[in-house]
């Protein structure tokens, strides 16, 4: 199982983007979050469903579950119809609580505004399509691997890429470990390229660390940014909403 969301792995936390952008309901984003959480809670990875047993039996059930629904690069290109669907099913499977919560946090923070800009149908197709291609790209680069790849991080990375193009000036709150985890607000055009740089460095050291699909993150981010550029042409400028004047300062 390829694991944790890389920004959590590197100790960086992103908060909610600036409130200066009006928000509308985002049913697709909320639906994706609910579906991923439901599947995790009822599956073996959460360890809450007694049907999967405990101890070694639970570990065996987890391995079988990830193998069935996750991407196994060595099997993907053998031509089996079931394996061809796994880059889609793997987007809804997560390997641990940290993996799930990290991914869902980022989907919530960046997905709402991106869905609002794209619209429900286009955002759904964008999310699924970019997520599928991100996992497919990782599998193609590791076609001899028998390790199961699960998680929505490829699709969510695409959302980050689109967000960077559409809302480059949106303020994002970050907790940086080398600054004693002080909450600092930076524009998206500062935070997200920094995140990409971390993925790039980590991808070059993938054999030395935990099994995280950094390449899928990079592919997804590039696809998301490229799609937003091709579809929307120029970014949406985020303008701060002026605060209402005190009552005594209102002009007649």
| Among 156, 173, 161, residue whose Cα is nearest residue 105 | 156
Question: pLDDT category, 79, cuts 50, 70, 90?
Answer: confident
Cβ atoms 110, 159 nearer than 8 A: yes
Question: pLDDT category, 1, cuts 50, 70, 90?
Answer: very low
**Alpha helices (H) along the chain:** 6-9, 27-42, 55-69, 73-76, 81-89, 97-118, 120-141, 153-166, 188-204, 214-232
Token reading at 177: 């470990």
Q: Which residue has the higher pLDDT, 248 or 222?
A: 222
Instruction: Locate the domains of the chain by residue range.
Output: 6-239
150-191 pLDDT, tens digit per residue, is 999 999 999 999 999 999 988 776 555 433 344 556 677 777
Cβ atoms 162, 197 nearer than 8 A: no
Phi then psi for residue 21, to 5 deg, are: -95, 120
Cβ atoms 185, 172 nearer than 8 A: yes
Question: pLDDT category, 198, cuts 50, 70, 90?
Answer: confident
What CATH superfamily classification does 6-239 receive?
Rhomboid-like (1.20.1540.10)
Q: How far is CA 93 from CA 26, 179, 226, in A?
A: 21, 34, 26
Cβ atoms 33, 25 nearer than 8 A: no
Cβ atoms 188, 166 nearer than 8 A: no
């Amino acid at each position: 199982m390829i694991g944790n969301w890389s920004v959590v792995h590197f100790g960086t936390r992103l908060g909610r983007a600036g409130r200066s952008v009006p928000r509308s309901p985002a049913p697709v984003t909320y639906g994706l979050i609910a579906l991923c959480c439901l599947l995790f809670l009822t599956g073996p990875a959460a360890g809450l469903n007694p049907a999967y047993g405990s101890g070694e039996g639970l570990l065996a059930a987890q391995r079988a579950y990830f193998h069935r629904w996750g991407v196994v690069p060595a099997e993907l290109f053998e031509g089996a119809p079931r394996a061809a669907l796994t880059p889609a099913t793997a987007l809804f499977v997560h390997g641990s609580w940290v993996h799930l919560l990290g991914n869902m946090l980022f989907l919530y923070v960046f997905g709402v505004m991106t869905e609002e800009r794209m619209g429900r149908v286009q955002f759904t197709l964008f999310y699924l399509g970019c997520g599928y291609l991100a996992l497919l790209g990782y599998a193609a680069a590791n076609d001899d691997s028998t390790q199961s790849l699960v998680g929505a991080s490829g699709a969510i990375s695409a959302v980050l890429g689109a967000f960077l193009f559409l809302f480059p000036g949106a303020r994002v709150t970050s907790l940086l470990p080398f600054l004693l985890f002080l909450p600092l607000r930076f524009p998206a055009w500062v935070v997200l390229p920094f995140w990409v740089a971390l993925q790039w460095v980590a991808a070059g050291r993938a054999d030395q660390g935990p099994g995280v699909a950094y390449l899928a993150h990079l592919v997804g981010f590039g696809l998301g940014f490229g799609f937003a550029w091709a579809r929307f042409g120029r970014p949406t400028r985020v303008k701060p909403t002026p605060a209402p004047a005190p009552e005594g300062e209102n002009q007649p």
